[in-house]
Structure 1
């Protein structure tokens, strides 16, 4: 055979092999997941908010699906992220509270995807007390990070400051990574946003954006918590816990300035002073007390919170637009979610932690044209626990047997309307700034059954030894709460005492025990058996 013909055929075979390899690679979808912090689903237009703060998230929802019953396993920043990564409850992944350290060597969706040939990256807030492993790239903010001129830790464990507003900076870094990735490989990019975490500092472009809005008080704003000890003794209420200086940027104390004010550039400082000083002068002239002061604090909280949402949403739009303009939209699953929900004055609260809906429920919006019809509204009970198994299946991998979630692909295809009948929740962190008592429970579409409990002596001693607890000034106790969401959607009336022997409560306790066994919750089992030590 002619040597030139042989050379041509060899070149053709090599080229064909490369094309086939690239074709097979690109058959696997790219993955983009944006994880915000403390973003209340009730502040998003797609979930019914009337204030117009989320046009880009709403657009994403129109292009895909809104999951109206998405839940977390443990409504706290670090534990929720650990669950997302591992698809394991806190008792198995080892990260029960924000005093913990995540073991990054344990299997995660990143370790499986990286091994399978994906380029993987985590950019932004990590907040797991360790550095990421198994990612092709990371650039994370230390701890909570700062809203202005944030520090970032890179893969060499060096820390450097980047000027700008944190949400914009995270998007800049994410776009840069996408532009410089190996385009022959599929990617999985996790964007961890700091927004909308306390202390809700908006971008300078958004100062005052909602000052024209008078936010109505939630119906339960002045909840007095009859029969609900945990609600009564918590310390996360707007009236008494929310600080004028630290939270609301008034110059009534120095808490805000220590961590944030000194980081401003001169121009940022001028924007900040011009806006908040005028509010502070007006506030001083009013001499507010009692309910008038509480309601003023609520309005300031809401205006800052929603203004902080604006930049978050704008940057969601930026990164999704980049995906679409790069021709990646059809083969990229785009997920927007938060590490948990947030109270926007419900029960008079801010923060999260509790099993009640505004905390345990989280926004989940997913666009994936290959499987999800536009404008889908899905009421299936899904969890952040389900994200990692979904990634495994989309990548053509076997779902590891130690993952406790379920792939969402049947839900995407509309083939599993009874995907899950109940979710299990377990919040551990105690003591804490907000005095949210530890508890676990079960939520079905109609009912909530929850057990609050005293932390064990071993746990108390651990907190003392770590310096987290010096004097136990609270009085946690063991008791049950039970709610019928059909009759009491705001979860105001604990009906446990009058229903503790009812068929419904007995059935829920049986289901709770089943889930405790399924999720290997030995500590919860010990509490119910009266063997907590």
Structure 2
């Protein structure tokens, strides 16, 4: 049984893809601290983002509610705020549950769930070149269970970040002349040191923006390890077409991206060391994860918000001496599963709200139960002004089914056998398993009340 109460530290690095850990294999990265956590903790290679873009994933991660339920169907910004897109008031999160259980809760870093209002243009990051405001101050009553607050909305200024601290008002932001990941780790270490002296458990989330773009905003000290690597050494996945101008551009990005990955890894090591220094390492579960990955040239793409593994798979590493058995777990954990799983890992499975739609995977991850027989994660992408297509899909351990509804063109189907085609280079929409996957996806969407635009044609095509 998990000891109760158990402290929790969650580190989420934005756009940190699953294969960007040295011990995992894949990208040519140096991550000695994450390698150490994997060696002594639990690594979950089948952790996936149901919606691999920032705001939708974070909303599911916190609430275990689908995008239609939690209100975050697209990335949150001022344009979409006018459409009502933003995390809905009153939703339970794993943080609010733990706070009710007597935990001291804290949030540090990027939030990106608050709809910007007019004043945020003046007091936040400002209006970007796309004409939209992304950064926003979060009022104290909309912090969803987090009491300690050292955060901002969505501002991509890694070398000159700003924060709203505690009860600071919108016009009272704190500007810092440091690399954001390093500064936020300093704040986290201070929180841990103080919380360890209190007669109460604690739960802290540290949300680092790097290695998200702007990729060149990374301290110089991390760059030398990658400066001399050529295109083939940097872009090692076979679904990247080398020798093209696009690949050359991706290689230049990869040098900075991997440098930031190494910098993030250093901060993770500092946090774990701080837990040991405070004498609470054996009472604390540390979780490292991300909101999504990035393509970095795979399939001819740069960023995310696509169903390919480079974007959809996220790192999920658990560490806790005496709490987390060492080894790799074949359990599939999706964004929707993460809130109930965190509650299970801290010993509060009995407090999981009924409204949370994900599954508590903690028993399998701590070797107290067998892994699930055949779990599946739904993939979501909602239509936007920039991209009218609307996508749903299903990922299991061995396969991925993707249905793309394109207005005026109809339904497109992709299917990948992940066991025999792990780099998704051969879509097989006529595979004999496709009808069963389509049927399974439709049952899931119906159970969620998802009125996806392509449902009618999918049902007609596969007679489901």
What TM-score do the two structures reach when normalised by structure 2? 0.83
What's the Cα RMSD here?
2.2
1:454 corresponds to which residue?
406
**1:50–1:488 CA distance, 2 compared to 1 (3 A):** closer
1:156 corresponds to which residue?
168
Give distance in 1, aligned partners of 2:220 and 2:283.
Answer: 36
**1:404–1:524 CA distance, 2 compared to 1 (3 A):** farther
Secondary structure at 1:177 match in 2? helix
Give distance in 2, aligned partners of 1:408 and 1:377.
Answer: 14
Provide Cα deviations, 1:84-129, integer angstroms capped at 9, x if missing partner. 1001111111101113322253211111111111100110011112
Provide Cα deviations, 1:192-228, integer angstroms capped at 9, x if missing partner. 00011112121132234311112424322239xxxxx
**1:321–1:310 CA distance, 2 compared to 1 (3 A):** same
Secondary structure at 1:210 match in 2? helix
2:10 corresponds to which residue?
33
2:329 corresponds to which residue?
378
Q: Structure 1 residue 58 and structure 2 residue 69: aligned?
A: no
**From 412, 429, 439, the counterpart of 1:479:** 412
Q: Structure 1 residue 166 and structure 2 residue 180: aligned?
A: yes
1:78 corresponds to which residue?
55
Secondary structure at 2:226 match in 1? coil
Q: CA deviation at 1:408?
A: 2.0
Provide Cα deviations, 1:121-151, integer angstroms capped at 9, x if missing partner. 1100111125223211111123134111211
Matches within 5 A, 1:384-463: 384-393=335-344, 394-396=346-348, 397-414=350-367, 415-418=369-372, 420-432=374-386, 435=387, 437-454=389-406
Provide Cα deviations, 1:369-398, integer angstroms capped at 9, x if missing partner. 344222x11222112322211233334342
2:130 corresponds to which residue?
none
Q: CA deviation at 1:47?
A: 1.4
Structure 1: 5+ residue runs without aligned partners?
1-25, 224-290, 456-474
* Range with greater deviation from structure 2 (64-73 or 47-56): 47-56
Secondary structure at 1:407 match in 2? coil
* Range with greater deviation from structure 2 (53-62 or 487-496): 487-496
Provide Cα deviations, 1:312-371, integer angstroms capped at 9, x if missing partner. 111011011101121111110100000012112211222111112111111100013344
Contact 1:451 1:478 survives alignment (8 Å):
yes
2:295 corresponds to which residue?
343
- Structure with a larger share of its residues in helix: 1
Q: Structure 1 residue 324 and structure 2 residue 338: aligned?
A: no
1:209 corresponds to which residue?
225
Give distance in 2, aligned partners of 1:133 and 1:410.
Answer: 26
**From 263, 282, 286, the counterpart of 1:311:** 263
Q: CA deviation at 1:57?
A: 1.0
Q: CA deviation at 1:180?
A: 2.7
Give distance in 2, aligned partners of 1:380 and 1:370.
Answer: 20
Contact 1:195 1:312 survives alignment (8 Å):
yes
Q: Structure 1 residue 193 and structure 2 residue 208: aligned?
A: yes
1:355 corresponds to which residue?
307
Report how many aligned residue pairs link the two structures: 412
* Range with greater deviation from structure 2 (423-432 or 187-196): 423-432
Contact 1:56 1:317 survives alignment (8 Å):
yes
Q: CA deviation at 1:302?
A: 0.9
Larger radius of gyration: 1
**1:454–1:304 CA distance, 2 compared to 1 (3 A):** same
Secondary structure at 1:488 match in 2? coil
* Range with greater deviation from structure 2 (128-137 or 441-450): 128-137
Matches within 5 A, 1:235-384: 293-374=245-326, 376-384=327-335
Q: CA deviation at 1:478?
A: 2.5
Give distance in 2, aligned partners of 1:195 and 1:144.
Answer: 11
Q: CA deviation at 1:525?
A: 7.5
